[in-house]
Amino acid sequence: MSIKNFESTHTCGQHGSNAGNSRASRKFITSQIQAVLKVRPDLRAVDIKNDMLSIFGIKINYSKAWWSKETAQQDLFSDYDEAYNSLRWYESMVHATNPGSRVVIDADDGRFKRLFISYNACIEGFIAGYRPLLFLDGIFIKDRYRGILLSATRYDGNQGIFPLAYCVCDQENEVNWKWFLQGLWTLLYDRENYYQPPHRLVMIFDADKGIRAAVEKFFPDAFHLRCVLYLVENFKKKMKDFGHKDNDMKELAAIDHRAYVTVMEYSPERWANVHFPGISVLLLMYGHVTSNVAESFNSWIRKAQLLRILPLVETIRKQIMERMHERRLVGQKWSGYLCLEAEMVLCDNIQHGSCLAIKHSTEDIMEVESNKTCRVDLKNRTCSCRSRDITRILCKHACAVITLMGREI
């Protein structure tokens, strides 16, 4: 064998004119990223471009990276149509392997519309460890069809997120929220052992987008309020913009400047109480006025929201299962009756209640003086501050009275 021609200038290299065209096939790129996609479903096309360049020294264009990811996802998780067609199978498997769970598929002439899921452990856990706060929110699903995932989440006894139910639908609107909350009402109240909550539910949400109408229809007795923190910030913004043209607060000051000054001096919980009697003060006191729980849930499923619908719901199921197992192991190590966070709050209430002045009204009713006078009824186990309605933990006023009665005895 002999060399007849030698070309010292090459055009097929990394920086040649054909870089990014045929130097790496889609099949090759797909084979390289499949293992990565299993643990990183949030892998972006730009990340694939950078990885191919840094690892193999190959330049590829964005389109090839994107289609390679689509091919890899299809090989790993099946295609979009097949994922939706498999939901009926998934529904039957959940009912067979997890009795008591509720999975409802809403279809129109065989075309998927909505999906409602609540696993039995979530239902029983909510009822057994009931707290009246329920956070409603929606988050975008970042697959090809760009759907929405609606969720109902609450706090557990140790201040962690506890998902109750979720719904996959096409958009966040009144129709879909009503369908979701109807399913929520059904799993709580339309059951063999009728669910009778000890206190009124409190539905908390940020933007309305049809939630308010849905809550009013299916949970008419519940407190339903938008995010108080949002109202506080919006109010402060209006006050900050005072003096601008067409500002409502300017009209208030023009009518009565003293009223403007008074409003500025009032803390948010006082004026919020006009719209949410009693409950807003309580919520502000205990830090449950924002959608932090819903936002934590959305962050928790961030990787799942990038998947096709069947891997999405299965990923969420596994996350719930793993979290409950972890909490079961942690709970087995607790020596006290209460959760750690609840025990810390109770100890804090006992400490702060030790210095409060107490006056007897009757044998069972006493008045406790703190920032404001609160009425503690030992017989009915109530306090006018109503914090126990939300936290399910004795407030400092009740702790003060119980401590005093214990000393007298």
pLDDT in tens, the chain (409 residues): 677 777 766 665 544 444 445 567 888 888 888 878 766 766 788 888 888 888 888 888 888 888 888 777 776 666 556 667 788 888 999 999 999 899 999 988 878 889 999 999 999 888 887 677 788 888 888 766 778 999 998 887 777 888 999 999 989 999 999 999 999 998 888 766 666 665 567 777 776 788 888 988 998 887 766 555 555 556 556 555 554 444 556 676 777 777 777 666 655 545 554 444 444 444 444 445 445 666 778 788 877 777 778 888 888 999 999 988 988 898 888 887 788 888 888 899 999 888 888 988 888 899 998 877 889 998 888 888 877 766 778 889 999 998 887 744 3
* Secondary-structure breakdown of the chain: helix, strand, coil percentages, each rounded to the nearest 5: 50, 15, 35
In angstroms, rounded to a whole number, what is the distance separating the alpha carbons of residues 334 and 94?
32
Q: How far does Cα 90 stand from its chain's mean position?
A: 24
pTM of the model: 0.68
- Tell how many helices (H) and how many strands (E) occur in the chain: 18, 11
Of residues 191, 128, 176, the one with CA closest to residue 156: 128
How many Å separate Cα 89 from the centre of its chain?
27
Q: Tell me how far apart the alpha carbons of residues 77 and 361 are, in angstroms, rounded to a whole number.
A: 68
Tell me how long the chain is: 409
Strand order in the sheet with 111-118: 102-108, 111-118, 161-169, 148-155, 133-140, 202-205, 223-226
**In this structure, what is the dihedral angle of CA atoms 159, 121, 153, 86, given to the nearest 10 degrees?**
140
- Closest by CA to 216, choosing from 230, 198, 234, 203, is 203
- Planar angle of CA 228, 127, 227, nearest 5 degrees: 10
R_g over Cα of the chain: 29
